[in-house]
Amino acid sequence: MENLQDILKKDGYKRIGFKVSKTQHLFIKVKINGIVGDFILDTGASNSCVDFGSKDFFELVATDSPTKASGAGANGMFTQVTYDNKLQLGRWKCTDFNFVLLDLSHVNTALIEYKVKTVHGIIGADVLLRGEAIIDYKNSFLYIK
């Protein structure tokens, strides 16, 4: 019998490992514009986002957005948008990806309180839907095509 990895590989999926932190967050390495960063993989986040403090780090060019962001622990947050970025998770690539920029200090403050590494941003459902993602929680792999 074939295993999940073999079946998904035949269907064009790429396998990306992630780590589960002691806070039960899924941590994944991501490249934006060729620069590696630490992100939370969050199926409940509608859009992928980058912290304002990481804008220069990832060489992002952003414009103000009229949309206010809401999430766990914060509402009505000012946002910016950055267009046409190169996004890479493992061997999976997207050359025209848009990110929302917002203040993630409340997320990183909570992570610091639990002595967990801080993050540059969050990978959300926009990536997962675009890549028809499958998450193998037991083995800590994200499959995306």
Query: Domains of the chain by range and CATH?
Result: 16-129 (2.40.70.10)
Q: Is 70:77 a contact under the CB 8 Å cutoff?
A: yes
Round the average pLDDT of the chain to a whole number and report it: 91
d(CA 131, CA 91): 12
- pLDDT for the residue 79: 86
94-112 b/e with 16+ CB inside 10 Å = b? eeebebbbbbbeebbeebe
Q: Which parts of the chain have pLDDT scores under 50?
A: 1, 72
